[in-house]
Amino acid sequence: MSDLRELVLDTETTGLEPGEHRIVEIGALELINHVPTGRTYHQYINPRRPMPAEAEAIHGITEDFLRDKPVFEEVAQAFIDFIGTGTLVIHNAKFDVKFLNFELGRVNKAPIRFDRVIDTLDMARNRFPGAQNSLDALCRRFRIDSAKRVKHGALLDSELLADVYIELIGGRQGGFSLDTSARTGPTTDSGRLPDAPAKTRGKPRPVLLTEDEKAAHCAFIDTLGDAPKWRAPDDQKVS
């Protein structure tokens, strides 16, 4: 059976609507049988239009920085060659694919078909209905370190999304299985925290604070105003 090739991908843009707005950054990394290979694609793109302040605030990419970067026409073929015929893994795929297809259409290249796209936002919503399922929220849920993500960035977000995707399909152990035929789609929960069923405690834990420590705590609470959120509902001090 042939290896499964997937490309975890993200874009940054000047706004929300293709045509009016353009792509300014593409980042992607390659997975083979759900394992990163180290191959990446990263490209900044001159959108030939001003950068709105609200977009710059999200990704930090300035108009001046993009001034000497290639336009999409100059990098389109390299991007197409990198993704090849692999499956694309994208968070909120409708957004990225509509921008990519607009750019590809402008240079007379075939559009990306949605039947070759996995949307991790849909996967997360199915697994965690009603929960926050942004990339940041999923990183917190799966305890993936996103401290470097001060602003959005296409390649960094792709790297984080690759970790999230692995967790959504069953966790890291899937990448080390010798049977690749069983890893072509989502699996059951991996049992990692915090998804494991909550454990119940048979009896309360004993209070370990000394009387002096409790008194010091109450004194500290008194410095926080009349109604700190952690006071008991009847406004009695914590004891």
Q: What six digits make up the tokens of 85? A: 């015929």
Q: What six digits make up the tokens of 196? A: 């494991």
CB neighbours of 145 closer than 8 A, spacing ≥ 6? 139
Sort strands 23-32 and 5-13 into parallel, antiparallel or unpaired. Answer: antiparallel
Q: Which residues pair with 36 in a beta bridge?
A: 31
Which candidate, 152, 122, 157, places its Cα nearest to that of 139?
157
Candidate list 21, 91, 152, 217, residue with the active-site label: 152
Q: What six digits make up the tokens of 138? A: 């999923």
Distance CA 86, CA 82 (A): 9
Q: Which residues pair with 41 in a beta bridge?
A: 28
Burial of residue 167 (number of CB atoms within 10 Å: 0-12, 13-18, 19+): buried
CB 115 within 8 A of CB 21: no
152 annotated active-site: yes
Q: Would you please indicate which residues are annotated as catalytic (active-site) residues?
A: 152
